[in-house]
Amino acid sequence: MEEKKIGERVVHWRLRDWLISRQKYWGTPIPIIYCDKCGTVGVPYADLPVELPKNAEFTGEGGSPLSKVEKFVNVKCPKCRGRARRDTDTMATFIDSSWYFLRFCSPKYKDGPFNKEEAAYWMPVDQYIGGIEHAILHLLYSRFFTKFLRDAGLLDFNEPFKRLLTQGMVLKEGEVMSKSKGNIVDPDEIIEKYGADTLRLFILFAAPPEAELDWNDRGMEGAWRFLARVWRLVEEIKGYKDPRSVGAEGLVKKMHQTIRKVTDDMEGGFKFNTAISSIMELVNEIYLAKDNNSDSREVRQAAEAAVVLLAAFTPHICEEMWQMLGKKESIFKTDWPVYNAELAREKSITLVIQVNSKVRSRIDVPVDTAEEEVRRLVLQDERIKQWVQDSPVKKVVIVPNKLVNILI
């Protein structure tokens, strides 16, 4: 449109002036002193930060509680040393929340708001996790402060956070859970009945962290039953003193596949729900293998791996189970399990076969079978022959190790 001179791009800013002044006790004191002779005077750097007095009274009569604390209000002018008055307004709490992460880098530093060298070492934050309601104000102000401090020469980076994950809202009966709507769930009651780990597992398993979570009490029961099932498994195998190896290739493969899946899901995008699901599948496989070989070494190894993986989500009960398994050191000092890529590798896969994009058959083939061989095997499949018959094949689309689509 610009090239044809019939339109142009325009940027519309929806930013508004930010009123930071509050007539409240809680907040950051404004470091300004008013003198009849010198006018408006900034508090000297050596006297910063201005701290709130601890004897302010909250009368509810209007105005700032600070204005009634004479020792706080009445001060000497930093310039003429005459009588002066301190500003009694405070700044919005966003003033603090916009740069607190920099103070965390050097919390005991006394020569400034933060140590520049320490901030350069720790910042920027690798991963920020917060609610969606912070996406506009808090995160916008944090970026503004960071850029201002960069321009002032106090920082050598441009953005405070490398990656952002905004959590989804919690819903109950179709509405956002909130105190104002009276539809909240008391976590103390849940923890008293099920324990903190059950609550943690349910929340992480119910939905991806960025999606809305629909609260369901039945889901809590399911999480509790799964943890109880793992506990019973550990109870049953804890007495294995010198388990023998029975091969159990299927269980060994499943264990290594689960370690790979959980590791990838946690490191590659906070897919906690699918990671937990894969641990549940491993526990099922362990029970099946245990029923066949109750004292096998492979069952013991897989159970230990499952407990370590699960500890990332339910730390307290897993610490207990780890001790039940005879471990002397905390589970959180144990190395994260490492999978063997060759043992985790599938030897064969099931190919979905479509005819004109509709599923008509499935066949098992070795992994990474050459496309020419896949084409030959697919066209020889009896069910596919029935669908194709004498129709000319226009094209065969092959997605390696997944599906084949025959266009006729």
Query: What does the pLDDT look like over 269-280, one tens digit per residue?
Result: 889 999 999 999
Q: What is the mean pLDDT of residues 12-41?
A: 89
Structure confidence by residue, pLDDT tens digits, 122-155: 999 999 988 877 777 889 899 999 999 999 999 9
- Are 211 and 168 in contact by the 8 Å Cβ rule? The answer is yes
Q: By C-alpha distance, which of 72, 92, 87, 88 is closest to 40?
A: 87
Structure confidence by residue, pLDDT tens digits, 153-178: 999 999 999 998 888 888 887 788 77
Structure confidence by residue, pLDDT tens digits, 69-98: 999 999 999 999 999 999 999 998 888 889
The answer to whether residue 293 scores a pLDDT higher than 80 is: no
Q: Please give the torsion angle defined by the CA atoms of residues 24, 27, 33 and 34, in that order, rounded to the nearest 10 degrees.
A: -30
Block residue for tokens 């008293």: 192
| CA distance linking residue 188 with residue 21, whole number of Å | 37
CB atoms within 10 A of CB 315: 16
| Of 171 and 244, the one with more pLDDT | 171
Which of the four pLDDT bands, split at 50, 70 and 90, describes residue 239? confident
The pLDDT value recorded for residue 93 is 85
Which of the four pLDDT bands, split at 50, 70 and 90, describes residue 106? very high
The pLDDT value recorded for residue 243 is 64
The share of the chain scoring above pLDDT 70, in percent, equals: 97
The answer to whether residue 217 scores a pLDDT higher than 90 is: no
pTM: predicted TM-score of the whole model, two decimal places: 0.67
Q: What is the mean pLDDT of the chain?
A: 89
The share of the chain scoring above pLDDT 90, in percent, equals: 52
